[in-house]
Amino acid sequence: MAEIYPELAEDLASIAARGLYRSRRIVSSPQGIVLNVDGRTLLNFCSNDYLGLANHPSVVAAFKHGADRYGVGSGSAHLLCGHSAAHHALEEELAEFTGRERALLFSTGYMANLGIVSALAGRGDTVLEDRLNHASLLDGGLLSAAQFKRYRHADMEHLEANLTRASGRKLIVTDGVFSMDGDLAPLDALSSLARKQNAWLMVDDAHGLGVMGRRGGGILEHYGLGRNDVPILMGTLGKAFGTFGAFVAGSRELIETLIQKARTYIYTTALPPAVAEATRVSLKMAIADHWRREKLAELIRRFSRGAEQLGLTLLPSASAIQPVVIGDSQETMFIGKALLEKGFLVGAIRPPTVPQGSARLRITFSALHEAHHVDRLLEAFEFILAQRPAAKPTID
């Protein structure tokens, strides 16, 4: 196979030349707002640990207790001998939390979305997705063998036009909080349209659950919607809940259908029971600790006000995701590196993750941040913007 390597090397060189090369960093500390990364201590503004629960002592203790009771691995898939009492208890608690009959655990969010979409729609059906949906949702639509249509972001007229031409079972799929823009899906309008067109509606609320709403009920609580408005609700456990894995919540018939047909559920090892035990604790904390959401909202407002004063281009987001749009990939990397040198870890997001010409710094907040952390980040931005070279032509 040696003959393929020169071609791969050329591809990698091309990616690097366009400022799109991805590299990993090595973290040698627990998750939190201060990380040890590649031997350096950095203030973390790129984690999805929105409520600061990933390293909470009670969550860690629950994980250790779960490992003592169940061991490390689950041993097999849920349908063989891998479905533990811890898994089952967490599913029941997630169902209660979301106000639904049943919930079903998946090993990752990506696997959940692939499994849900492909189990509910197939040849002869139609899957309609927001153009800015997460890659896992888009891949689920592509792999389903259904007719796959992408509508313009949050454009109800475009979606309705596609729905009127759709055939078979119609499944509308959307993110709740869009992971790269931080804005919210127009869920009330989507629900009304789905009902009008006799379509199913699925929402991936990975970035809303735990964060939005008084009780952390996510985008549905934000809009005041219930299970009849959004019959298929997917959520992840590795963001606001601080652990790992994902779930879908809905009716008994929905969950039983997924158990029978979702290949990414049937044919994979269950997540470790210790993770389920840790999540049971973090779920309770996420519901009860209103102060985490209140503090997070205040930090977001503080950053937004400061960024506006500096002339930064922010997307309209009231979520914990605050994207600063730079545009050019090379310049985005320059500013990201300059922030790193000043001790701040932020995510530099470039195409193809975001559209051409919209490279950005994806800044995320945690309830563990303090006001002075936000102020230090803004001061660093102010210094770097004053020092940066003249803008170069966009090469995206």
What is the average pLDDT value for the chain, to the nearest integer? 95
Its sign, for the CA torsion 156, 161, 163, 164, is positive
Class of residue 133 by CB neighbours under 10 A (exposed 0-12, middle 13-18, buried 19+): buried
Q: What is the mean pLDDT of residues 261-276?
A: 98
Q: Is the pTM of this model over 0.85?
A: yes
The CATH number of domain 57-288, selected from 3.40.50.2020, 3.40.640.10, 3.40.50.10490, 3.80.30.20:
3.40.640.10
Q: What is the pLDDT of residue 18?
A: 82
Q: How confident is the model at residue 389 (pLDDT cuts 50, 70, 90)?
A: low
Q: How confident is the model at residue 22 (pLDDT cuts 50, 70, 90)?
A: confident
Range(s) of the chain covered by CATH 3.90.1150.10: 21-51+289-387
Beta pairing partners, 40? 37
pLDDT at 297 over 60: yes
Instruction: Record the tokens describing residue 304, joined without a space.
Output: 């937004």
* pLDDT one-digit tens code per residue, 98-145: 999 999 999 999 999 999 999 999 999 999 999 999 999 999 999 999
* pLDDT one-digit tens code per residue, 183-220: 999 999 999 999 999 999 999 999 999 999 999 999 99
Q: What is the pLDDT of residue 164?
A: 96
* pLDDT one-digit tens code per residue, 221-245: 999 999 999 999 999 999 999 999 9
101 neighbors 95 (Cβ within 8 angstroms): yes
Range(s) of the chain covered by CATH 3.40.640.10: 57-288
Choose between 170 and 391: higher pLDDT: 170
* pLDDT one-digit tens code per residue, 43-100: 999 999 999 999 999 999 999 999 999 999 999 999 999 999 999 999 999 999 999 9
Q: What is the mean pLDDT of residues 259-272?
A: 98
pLDDT at 395 over 80: no
Write out the catalytic residue numbers.
Answer: 179, 207, 239
pLDDT at 15 over 70: yes
- Domain 21-51+289-387 class, CATH top level: alpha beta
Q: What is the pLDDT of residue 17?
A: 87
**Cβ density class 206-236: b for 16+ within 10 Å, e for less:** bbbbbbbbeebbbbbbbbebebebbbbbbbb
